[in-house]
Amino acid sequence: MAKEKKLVEQITSMQEDFAQWYTDVVKNAGLIDYTSVKGCMVIKPAGYALWENIQRELDRRFKETGVENVYLPMFIPESLLQKEKDHVEGFAPEVAWVTHGGLQPLQERLCVRPTSETLFCDFYKNEVQSYRDLPKVYNQWCSVVRWEKETRPFLRSREFLWQEGHTAHATAKEAEERTVQMLNVYADFCEEVLAIPVIRGQKTEKEKFAGAESTYTIEALMHDGKALQSGTSHNFGDGFARAFGIQFLDKDNQLKYVHQTSWGLSTRIIGAIIMVHGDDSGLVLPPRIAPTQVMIVPIRQDAPGVLEAAEKLMEAVSEKARVKIDRTDKSPGFKFAEAEIRGIPLRLEIGPKDAEQGKCVLVRRDTREKREVALADAPAEVEKELLRMQEEMFERAKKHRDEHIFDAHNMEELRDIAENHPGFIRGMWCGKTSCEEKIKEELSVTSRCAPFHDQEEISESCVCCGEKAKKLIYWGKAY
């Protein structure tokens, strides 16, 4: 009993200390471990299985839009990185450099990729010659390195996993369409698979990606009221193409520059899953992304017939879900707590009397709803419950998000909300960077995006300076 109690007590209450709660969950759910390389993490099997499911689902969606996967080197020569001035300035503080090969100093420093725009540009300048070579719609799954000062598992680490799409098009219209299309792929994936509602919108000039003409983003709200940028898509126009000389002969026999896009989603999305759905007992995984959707827990498994009944139950349920049996010799209470910490959506409990009576007990992780189910009906009931849980988790997260969206009409209201009501803040903006910077400096609040689907004019004046406003912005404190 003491051991079981200790397992639960290892997780700090999110109301007491949200940051510590998050760290406790990622550790005790077996998602990561720390390493001797400061700021880097081991992604353990439970964490990597989540990433594999994310990768599998996204990759399928990418390919449905015509994306092909490639792989480019992880090293970028300094001279190549310097070709796009805004881009290199944006990443300079985070770049890690290789200066030696073995014992010999390199003639030119190599950057360990923080992102691969420059490498793709170098590749495309030889790959693209004619309009017949376009579009190029490529993606790579890889790791990148950014020398962050402050790190936190999944949310911000010096090396992390992601995918980065890089496309080249004949026209500005095609590039813009692809940029928006990929943002919508991310948004649909988050809402349909991860049960995370998002705000789709455009970043301001100040917050856009270095070297881009425009950046589109999906913004999610965490349980503590902070925003998390969960995926971005960038339209580069022909800026990179001009810097790298990527030209093609068009149908009119004229040389033209390609128009490019880039888009990415990283392992930080696992942090979003934790912070949107988790509770004081650990992870709560949406069924569609959970590596194990159902855990069967035999009770008194040494009793005659119990394990055999559990095996038959697993065989039947496996046609409808990803299922495992906890065959360890731990006590049932410990097994229940472990399944809860790991966020497994459904638990099926079966003991000697259950086996005799042809039934089991079905328990939902999110609501802890418990009910008896006939063994013969278990596969259908599991399928139905997983669908219901997925839908209800999304609706619950959306309700929480919508209840934490506040309107501010002036700086005083913005200050009060920022200090006392965690969440998204809708406020009109005049378009001046000086107002954006003042809000950030005084309130630690940043512009998250100008939303696509919500441009209600809640005021005629800027929330900061009071001058005529141009657009509605979602503001918030963010990870």
Beta strands 68-69 and 136-145, pairing class: parallel
Q: Is the peptide bond before 379 cis (omega within 30 degrees of 0)?
A: no
| Region 223-235 average pLDDT | 98
Q: 89 by DSSP, 3-state: which?
A: helix
Query: Of 100, 257, 241, 235, which is closest to residue 170 (Cα–Cα)?
Result: 257
Q: Which residue has the higher pLDDT, 85 or 423?
A: 423
Q: Which two tokens stand for residue 437?
A: 């910077």
Rounded Cα distance, 41 and 467, in Å: 47
Query: Of 73, 185, 187, 65, which is closest to residue 137 (Cα–Cα)?
Result: 65
pLDDT band with cut points at 50, 70 and 90 for residue 216? very high
Residue 366 C-beta-side C-alpha neighbours within 13 Å: 23
Asked if residue 5 has pLDDT above 90, the reply is no
Q: Which residue has the higher pLDDT, 223 or 302?
A: 223
Would you state the pLDDT for residue 9? 63
What's 159-195 look like in SS3?
Answer: EEEEEEEEEEECCHHHHHHHHHHHHHHHHHHHHHCCC
- Residue length of the chain: 479
Would you state the pLDDT for residue 99? 97
Q: Which two tokens stand for residue 265?
A: 């989603």
Q: Which tens digits make up the pLDDT trace of 158-193?
A: 999 999 999 999 999 999 999 999 999 999 999 999
* DSSP state letter for 113: P
Q: 366 by DSSP, 3-state: which?
A: coil
Q: Which tens digits make up the pLDDT trace of 268-311?
A: 999 999 999 999 999 999 999 999 999 999 999 889 999 999 99
The superfamily in CATH containing domain 12-277 is: Bira Bifunctional Protein; Domain 2 (3.30.930.10)
Give me the residue spans of the domains in the chain. Answer: 12-277, 294-385, 405-476
CB 83 within 8 A of CB 77: no
- Report which residue type is found at 239: G
Asked if residue 399 has pLDDT above 80, the reply is yes
CB 81 within 8 A of CB 94: no
Asked if residue 3 has pLDDT above 50, the reply is no
Asked if residue 8 has pLDDT above 70, the reply is no
Rounded Cα distance, 357 and 341, in Å: 30
268 backbone φψ class: left, alpha, beta (φ>0; ψ -120 to 50): alpha
Query: Of 61, 214, 240, 66, which is closest to residue 138 (Cα–Cα)?
Result: 66
Asked if residue 1 has pLDDT above 70, the reply is no
H and E: helices and strands count for the chain? 15, 23
CATH of domain 294-385: 3.40.50.800
Would you state the pLDDT for residue 186? 98
Would you state the pLDDT for residue 394? 98
Rounded Cα distance, 261 and 164, in Å: 10
Fold of 405-476: Translation Initiation Factor IF3 (3.30.110)
Asked if residue 4 has pLDDT above 80, the reply is no
Would you state the pLDDT for residue 7? 52
Mean pLDDT is lowest, of 1-15, 191-205, 317-331, for 1-15
Beta carbons within 10 angstroms of residue 6's beta carbon: 11
Model-level pTM?
Answer: 0.95
Measured CA distances, 199 to 63, 160, 186, 407, 463 (Å): 24, 24, 11, 15, 20
Query: Of 126, 144, 138, which is closest to residue 59 (Cα–Cα)?
Result: 138
